[in-house]
Structure formats: structure tokens, C-alpha cells
């Protein structure tokens, strides 16, 4: 999430006539990056989600003549709804939604003027929660494809004890219930027989780790599937991966997916139904959701069909280029234009 906010802040900073301020933890990396750009930072206390000082500090800026407030996560949305209600402000509130799961507290989202959903599946989850479809706009994640990344060859393989001869299938995402790691584990069980050199690295942290460890043991996949935990700056480790898999229940374009594409790794992504021509732009390799056989077939094909692998890599790189920072900023500004008052100059907080 931080990378997406940073890309947007940097892009808006280059837009003429736009002023912005960013509310974030005063000691955060995002705060440092904003200050380096010359973007004003509204410093929040360390435990902003539970610290009563956070809304008090943020409330001081509500009357600053902003045209839009943009909440990038759940705690920010909660604080802004509370502050705007107490202040009686009618300034439009825009919120970001990056997860495909149906929101647990749907009432918050129904009170937002406009929601920027990162994927179609995130939009569908919001609609299932009762949000009017007309108040949702899909704005995909963006990536700085030209950013210089200091890669660490072999670091991921060393972390999981993989040999150079092993074929590494990786995923980078939170270990939560709205991710479909169960299908990935069933695929790993099949490949343990058909592709013994395959190793799976499920990177990330979250409340489902213990349950996943139990499933790995139950399937007899110790040594075949590893849970290395969270590693920052995913692109540093992509060079060790042969195939990247997004373990979701539907198409979900995360920042890690884009990082893998930029690094020249094919991305396999589940979809509820296979594309019928130009339903989505080419990029990720799509397979039916919750289908370990189809997922396994595609991984094996990518591992052993060089032409298919190279085609997937080139499509992925082109896809990532089309999702650069410029596209993210343009789509976001267009979305702002749907709710902003036409007589006021663009500004956001």
C-alpha cells in the first residue's frame, strides 16, 4: 500500500495546479519520502489507529480548504468519517479498496462519496456489501517500472534451503483468509509427484500462518513448501523465482504481481471464468479459480515450455509498462473529477 501512495504522491506533485498534504506516521518511510519531495506531512502518532491524538491532529487540517480527502486504508477511512461527521464538512471523501473480500464493516464504505477499487474483484466485493456500483471506480495498482532495484541473487533460495537445480514457484502476499493458499498447497502436493524439483515459497505474514503450517504437515509437504515470512522490496528477490503465482479467489493485481512482471517472471492469476477474447488485457496468465489441476498444468507448462514461458514474460512486461505511475495518476485524477466541485481548484489530502 505504501508504494501505491508514494507513486500517487510523486505523480500529483508533478501535476500543475495540484496541492496536497499527506497524513502519515511522523517517523514512517512515507513521511521521509514526502518531505524529500517538499510535500507537506501531517504527522500522526505511532499507533494512529488506536491513539485518540491521531484524529485530533488530523482534525486541525480539515478546514484547510481541501477539495478532496483520500483515505488509503481502513484506519484512515474511520478517522476521516468521524472527523467529517463532527465537523459537518461536505468535502468529498474518496477511499481506496485493494482487497477482493467483502468488507466486514460495510456501513463505512456506503458513506464514502467514491471508492477507488484496485481490481474488478475488489469492486465486486464492495457491491456485495451493498455499495452502489456507480460510486465505485476501478483504478488498478501502478508501478515504477524504471526504478533501480538492487537485486539479491540467491537470497531467497538460501532462505528456504533451495538448490540451484530446484524450480522455484513463489507468491508474495498476506497470509489471510481472503487469499486462496489452499489451492496452491493442493497444487504443490501434485507437483511433488510430477515435478520433484519444484519448490514453493509462500512469502508474507498474517494470521493464517499457523493453519498453513498445519496443512503443509498434513499434506507431507515439509521441505517442498516453505513460509519464509515477510521480505520487504519484493523485486529484490524475484530473480530467484521461476514462476510467480497470485493465490487469490479471483483476478487480483497486487503490487507484487507487477514487480514480478517487471523482473521478467510470468505471473499466474486465478479468474472465476476464463477470458473470452478481449475481456481483459493480456498480461497475467489466467487459470480457473480454485482449480489445482489447471494451476498445476500451467505451472508445468511454464517450467518446461520455453517458448510459452518467454511469451508470458514479454506480455507481462508490456502489461506492467501500461500500469506505470502516469497511468495511476491520470486514472486517479479522472476519478477525483467525478466528485470534486467544479468551481474549486484541485487539491487533496
Share of the chain above pLDDT 70, in %: 91
Q: What is the pLDDT of residue 318?
A: 93
In words, the CATH class of domain 2-142+325-348 is: alpha beta
What is residue 1's predicted lDDT score, i.e. its pLDDT?
A: 74
**From the first residue on, what is the mean pLDDT of each consecutive set of 10 residues in the chain (349 residues)?**
88 92 88 93 70 69 82 88 83 90 81 92 89 94 82 88 94 91 96 95 95 95 93 83 93 88 94 55 87 97 97 95 91 94 55
Give the pLDDT score at 49: 54
pLDDT of residue 64: 67
Give the three-state DSSP class for 117: strand
Q: Which residue, chain included where needed, has cell 468521524? A: 82
According to DSSP, residue 232 is labeled S
Domain positions in the chain = 2-142+325-348, 155-322
Alpha helices (runs of H) in the chain, residue ranges in sequence order: 2-13, 29-37, 53-59, 74-87, 106-110, 120-128, 155-160, 181-194, 209-218, 255-262, 292-304, 306-322, 325-336
Q: Grid coordinates in use for 204?
A: 508474507
2-142+325-348 and 155-322 have identical folds: yes
User: 244 near 266, Cβ under 8 Å?
Assistant: yes
CATH hierarchy code of domain 155-322? 3.40.50.2000
- Tell me, what's the pLDDT at 126? 92
pTM for this structure? 0.83
Place of cell 507513486: 7
- The size of the chain, in residues, is 349
Amino acid at each position: 500500500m505504501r508504494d501505491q501512495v508514494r507513486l500517487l504522491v510523486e505523480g500529483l506533485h508533478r501535476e500543475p495546479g495540484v496541492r496536497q498534504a499527506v497524513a502519515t506516521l511522523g517517523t514512517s518511510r512515507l513521511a521521509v519520502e514526502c518531505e524529500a519531495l517538499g510535500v507537506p506531512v501531517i504527522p500522526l502518532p505511532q499507533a494512529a489507529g488506536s491513539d485518540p491524538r491521531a484524529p485530533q491532529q488530523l482534525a486541525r487540517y480539515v478546514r484547510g480548504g481541501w477539495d478532496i480527502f483520500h483515505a488509503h486504508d481502513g484506519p484512515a477511512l474511520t478517522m476521516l468519517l468521524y472527523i467529517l461527521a463532527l465537523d459537518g464538512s461536505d468535502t468529498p471523501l474518496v477511499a481506496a479498496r485493494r482487497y477482493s473480500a467483502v468488507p466486514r464493516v460495510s456501513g463505512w464504505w456506503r458513506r464514502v462519496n467514491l471508492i477507488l477499487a484496485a481490481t474488478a474483484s475488489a469492486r465486486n466485493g464492495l457491491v456485495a456489501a451493498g455499495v452502489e456500483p456507480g460510486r465505485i471506480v476501478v483504478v488498478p495498482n501502478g508501478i515504477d517500472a524504471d526504478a533501480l532495484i538492487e537485486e539479491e541473487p540467491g537470497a531467497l533460495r538460501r532462505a528456504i534451503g533451495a538448490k540451484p537445480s530446484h524450480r522455484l514457484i513463489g507468491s508474495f502476499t498476506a497470509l489471510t483468509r481472503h487469499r486462496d493458499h489452499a489451492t496452491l498447497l493442493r497444487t504443490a502436493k501434485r507437483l511433488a509427484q510430477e515435478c520433484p524439483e519444484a519448490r514453493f515459497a509462500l512469502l508474507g505474514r498474517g494470521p493464517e500462518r499457523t493453519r498453513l503450517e498445519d496443512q503443509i504437515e498434513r499434506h507431507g509437504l515439509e521441505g517442498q513448501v516453505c513460509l519464509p515470512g515477510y521480505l520487504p522490496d519484493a523485486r529484490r528477490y524475484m530473480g530467484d523465482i521461476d514462476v510467480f503465482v497470485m493465490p487469490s479467489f479471483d483476478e487480483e493485481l497486487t503490487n507484487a504481481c507487477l514487480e514480478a512482471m517487471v523482473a521478467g517472471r510470468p505471473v499466474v492469476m486465478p479468474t472465476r471464468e476464463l477470458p473470452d477474447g478481449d475481456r481483459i488485457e493480456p498480461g497475467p496468465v489466467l487459470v480457473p479459480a480454485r482449480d489445482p489441476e489447471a494451476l498445476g498444468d500451467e505451472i508445468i507448462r511454464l517450467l518446461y515450455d520455453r517458448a510459452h514461458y518467454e511469451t508470458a514474460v514479454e506480455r507481462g512486461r508490456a502489461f506492467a509498462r501500461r500500469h506505470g505511475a502516469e497511468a495511476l495518476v491520470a486514472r486517479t485524477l479522472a476519478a477525483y473529477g467525478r466528485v470534486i466541485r467544479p468551481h474549486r481548484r484541485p487539491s487533496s489530502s
